[in-house]
Amino acid sequence: MAITVGVAGCSSESVAVGAAGSEAVSSAVATTTSTALSPRDEAVAAAKKTYEQYTLVANDVAHGGGSDTAALDDVAVGEALLAQKNIAKLLSEKKYRGVGDIEVVSMEAVKVNLKTDPDTYTVPEVILNVCEDQSNIDAVNEAGKSVRGADSPDYRQAKISVSYYPDRGGVDGWFVNSDRDTGTEKC
């Protein structure tokens, strides 16, 4: 949840991702047929689904005041996991909790790498550019009073790295690996 609390920030987003498929109607009989996706499109769809789950979990952790972070291990690794756990620790220590949810205004895959090389620790990765509307989020103290800084931006742009580690679980093997702010312009 991207809330400015003093000097700390939180990041979380949500976005709906549709399932692949198409419906064909012939002679008043409806049948469902599946549209095969390319490996690239499958990776992008999986990355978006993973990002959606990541944001739902991050919202839940913030709404709970950062007290339970176990579900973060199922959606994040690396710096994204560390950042979310640090945000949760801050919320818990200050006895703050997040309210509201971020709305993802746009999300676009800008890079897809499907290569795997155990020798160089290369795993499949999708990079997403995301823009969020954060105007409906806040952090509140124990008394329910807002602690969101007056200078907190209403919008956040971020570059999200989603990586594939099939042996670790995650969302069909995918995890958010990094979540880096890139701007605060309106989208």
Q: How far apart are CA 129 and CA 137, in angstroms?
A: 21
CATH number at residue 91: 3.10.450.240
Kindly state whether residue 99 falls inside one of the protein's structural domains. yes
Kindly state whether residue 54 falls inside one of the protein's structural domains. yes
pLDDT digits (tens, 9 = 90+) for 117-140: 989 999 999 999 999 888 999 999
Kindly state whether residue 11 falls inside one of the protein's structural domains. no
Whether residue 52 contacts residue 16, with contact meaning beta carbons closer than 8 Å, is answered with yes
Kindly state whether residue 148 falls inside one of the protein's structural domains. yes
The boundaries of the domain holding residue 87 are 37-183
Kindly state whether residue 14 falls inside one of the protein's structural domains. no
Q: How far apart are CA 35 and CA 175, in angstroms?
A: 25
Kindly state whether residue 3 falls inside one of the protein's structural domains. no
pLDDT score at 6 = 33
Kindly state whether residue 17 falls inside one of the protein's structural domains. no
Q: How far apart are CA 130 and CA 187, in angstroms?
A: 10
> Looking at the predicted structure, is the pLDDT value of residue 4 above 80?
no
Those residues whose C-beta lies under 8 Å from the C-beta of residue 163, and which sit 6 or more positions away, are 77, 78, 123, 124, 125, 174, 175, 177
pLDDT digits (tens, 9 = 90+) for 44-95: 999 999 998 998 999 999 999 999 999 999 999 999 999 999 999 999 999 9
What is the number of structural domains in the chain?
A: 1
C-alpha distances (whole Å) from 144 to each of 99, 180, 184 are 10, 29, 27
Quick one: average pLDDT of 99-123? 93
Q: Choose among 96, 78, 90: nearest CA to 145.
A: 96
Kindly state whether residue 6 falls inside one of the protein's structural domains. no
Strand 155-164 and strand 29-33: the pairing is unpaired
